[in-house]
Amino acid sequence: MSNNSQKNQFFSEIYNKYIDKIYRFVYLKVSSETIAQDLTSETFTRFWYQIYLDKKIKNPSAFLYQIARNLVIDFYRKEEAVNLVPIENCKEMSDPHANLEEKASVLSDMEVVRTALVNLKEDYQNVIIWRYLDDLSIPEIAKVMEKSEGTVRVTLHRALKTLRIAMNQG
Amino acid sequence: MLSENELIKKIQELKQIQPNQNWAVLTENKILSATPHLNQKLKSLV
């Protein structure tokens, strides 16, 4: 990429494609809007540095998730475990006209599944997030995880089974 | 016991977690406008 305008355009395309996914990926792990914003911002800043310096990025998706994962790991190394922030803090509800009882029910369901999800081991969390929340294909997940497609399928199957058991116990 | 489809549906409810859109726009602009500062920082490192 030769000029700054092309770099800006490329960055904006990737940013708009992945900002929701990276934010959600981080939020689910840190359970804090402010921290998720900080780490997401840092993820894209590092991505921008690479573009600005003309570094080749073969797979932007894998690159972004890898940075985000590392930042979350660093965060937990540096900080004491943060208190869980209630899921009520999430900004968007799918149906703003739903009545309070319906909203409460959805929030409760989300909290149950989120809590069960974040208590899984990291590989299980990630594979579920990538497959069912970020809609990545098995080959795409294999690239991000640097594992074979067969391994991803097995991991996904085990992750779902573990999550189902956890939710039934909860 | 939840069926697999029911479980996946519950997982997908978490798609409702999204960043504040104003924050997302401001952050994009902030990162892109940091370029001159980045340029100076990089030069100082060389």
What mean pLDDT do residues A12-33 have?
95
Contact state of A44 with B31 under an 8 Å Cβ cutoff: yes
Give the chain A residue nearest B35 (alpha carbons).
Answer: A52
- At A48 the pLDDT is 93
Q: How far is CA A125 from the centre of its chain?
A: 9
> Looking at the domain assignment, is residue B9 inside a domain?
no
Return residues 5-44 of B near A (CB < 8 Å). 7-8, 10-20, 23-24, 27-28, 30-32, 34-35, 38, 42
> Looking at the domain assignment, is residue B35 inside a domain?
yes
What mean pLDDT do residues A131-146 have?
93
Return residues 56-85 of A near B (CB < 8 Å). none
Question: Range with the lowest mean pLDDT among A2-6, A95-99, B6-10?
Answer: A95-99
Contact state of B12 with A132 under an 8 Å Cβ cutoff: yes
- At A147 the pLDDT is 94
> Looking at the domain assignment, is residue B5 inside a domain?
no
- At A111 the pLDDT is 84
Domain spanning A1-85: which CATH class is it, in words?
Answer: mainly alpha
- Which residues in B lie closer than 8 A to residue A91 (C-beta atoms)? 18-20
Asked if this assembly's ipTM is beyond 0.85, the reply is no
Instruction: Name residue B43's amino acid.
Output: K
> Looking at the domain assignment, is residue B6 inside a domain?
no
Q: What's the mean pLDDT when you consider all of chain A?
A: 85
What separation in angstroms does the CA of A119 have from each of A97, A123, A126? 32, 11, 12
Both tokens of residue A107? Answer: 């929030």
Contact state of B24 with A90 under an 8 Å Cβ cutoff: no
Nearest to A114 by CA among A80, A63, A163: A163
What mean pLDDT do residues A63-73 have?
94
- At A108 the pLDDT is 75
CATH of domain A97-170: 1.10.10.10
Does the pLDDT of residue A119 top 70, yes or no?
yes
The model carries a pTM of 0.81
What mean pLDDT do residues A134-146 have?
92
What is the per-residue pLDDT across B1-46, written as a single tens digit (0 to 9) for each?
Answer: 788 899 999 999 999 999 999 999 999 999 998 765 666 666 565 5
Instruction: Name residue B19's amino acid.
Output: P
What separation in angstroms does the CA of A48 have from each of A27, A36, A115, A133? 21, 18, 32, 25
What separation in angstroms does the CA of A71 have from each of A22, A130, B15, B38? 12, 17, 22, 20
Number of domains chain B is built from? 1
Q: How confident is the model at residue A93 (pLDDT cuts 50, 70, 90)?
A: very low
Both tokens of residue B41? Answer: 């920082």
Q: How confident is the model at residue A97 (pLDDT cuts 50, 70, 90)?
A: low
> Looking at the domain assignment, is residue B26 inside a domain?
yes
- Which residues in A lie closer than 8 A to residue B20 (C-beta atoms)? 33, 37, 91
> Looking at the domain assignment, is residue B13 inside a domain?
no
Domain with CATH 1.10.1740 in chain A: 1-85
> Looking at the domain assignment, is residue B40 inside a domain?
yes
